[in-house]
Amino acid sequence: MPDTPAPPPAEAEIAALRAEIDALDDAMHDLLMQRAAVVARLAGSRAKGQGSPLRPGREAAVLRRLLARHSGPLARERVVRIWREIFMASTAIQGPFSVAAHAPQSAETRLARTHFGPITPIRVHPTPARALAAVSDGEASVAVLPAPAETDQAESAWWARLDVPRLQVVARLPFIAAPSAPEALVVAPVPPDPSGDDRSLLLIEAEADAPRGRIAQALADAGLAAGAVLVLRAGEATLALAEIEGFLRADDARLAALPWARRTILGAYAAPVAGDAP
Which residues in this chain contact ligand ISJ in the complex, by CB under 6 A?
39, 42, 53-55, 58-59, 62, 86-87, 90-91
Sheet holding 226-234, edge to edge: 122-125, 99-102, 142-146, 184-188, 168-173, 263-270, 198-207, 237-245, 226-234
Kindly tell me which of 17 and 40 has the beta carbon lying closer to ligand ISJ: 40
Residue 92 near residue 53, CB atoms below 8 Å: no
Strand partners, 263: 204
Residue 267 near residue 143, CB atoms below 8 Å: no
Kindly state the smallest distance separating residue 251's Cβ from ligand ISJ, in Å.
25
Kindly state the smallest distance separating residue 178's Cβ from ligand ISJ, in Å.
22
Kindly tell me which of 59 and 152 has the beta carbon lying closer to ligand ISJ: 59
Residue 112 near residue 184, CB atoms below 8 Å: yes
Coil, strand, or helix at residue 132?
helix
Closest residue to ligand ISJ, Cβ-based? 90
Kindly tell me which of 16 and 47 has the beta carbon lying closer to ligand ISJ: 47
Kindly state the smallest distance separating residue 84's Cβ from ligand ISJ, in Å.
10
Kindly state the smallest distance separating residue 247's Cβ from ligand ISJ, in Å.
17
Give the closest residue to 53 by CA, choosing from 201, 193, 249, 168.
193
Kindly tell me which of 62 and 107 has the beta carbon lying closer to ligand ISJ: 62
| Alpha-helical runs (H) found in the chain | 9-45, 56-69, 76-94, 107-116, 128-136, 212-221, 253-256
Give the closest residue to 57 by CA, choosing from 177, 196, 164, 169.
196
Kindly state the smallest distance separating residue 8's Cβ from ligand ISJ, in Å.
44
Kindly state the smallest distance separating residue 115's Cβ from ligand ISJ, in Å.
12
Kindly state the smallest distance separating residue 202's Cβ from ligand ISJ, in Å.
25
The residue count of the chain comes to: 278
What span, in angstroms and rounded, lies between the C-alpha atoms of 233 and 239?
A: 6
Kindly tell me which of 58 and 113 has the beta carbon lying closer to ligand ISJ: 58
What span, in angstroms and rounded, lies between the C-alpha atoms of 222 and 56?
A: 28
Kindly tell me which of 87 and 158 has the beta carbon lying closer to ligand ISJ: 87
Kindly tell me which of 65 and 212 has the beta carbon lying closer to ligand ISJ: 65
